[in-house]
Amino acid sequence: MEATMKKATFYHAGCPVCVEAEQQFASALDPKMYEVEVVHLGESRSRLDEAEGAGVKSVPALVVDGIPFHINHGADLSDLR
C-alpha cells in the first residue's frame, strides 16, 4: 500500500538566503512523502496571490500541507509586487 503524497511548495525570489534554504531544505524532504514544487516569485508574479493566500509573508517560505513556514528572512512578499 502506498502512502498518499503530500504537496510542499517552496516559494523564493532568487536571493542568497533563498538559494541556501532551497538547497538545504527543498531537497531534504522525503521524496516518498512529498511532491515538492519550487516557485520563483520574482519570475512568476502571477503566483503572488496564491502564496499570500497560503499565509506567506516573506521568502523563502515552504508551504507544507497548506501550512506556511517562513525560513530565515530574504525579502518581504510586498517587496516583490
Give the shortest CB-40-to-a second copy separation in angstroms: 19
Here's the x/- map for a second copy, 60-79, by CB under 8 A: it reads as ----xx-x-xxxx-------
Among 1, 4, 16, 28, binds a second copy (CB under 8 A): 28
Cell numbers standing for residue 25? 531544505
| Whole-angstrom distance, CA of residue 32 vs CA of residue 56 | 25
Give the shortest CB-78-to-a second copy separation in angstroms: 18
Stretch that binds a second copy, among 23-31, 37-45, 46-54 (CB under 8 A): 23-31
User: Do strands 6-12 and 58-64 pair parallel, antiparallel, or not at all (unpaired)?
Assistant: antiparallel
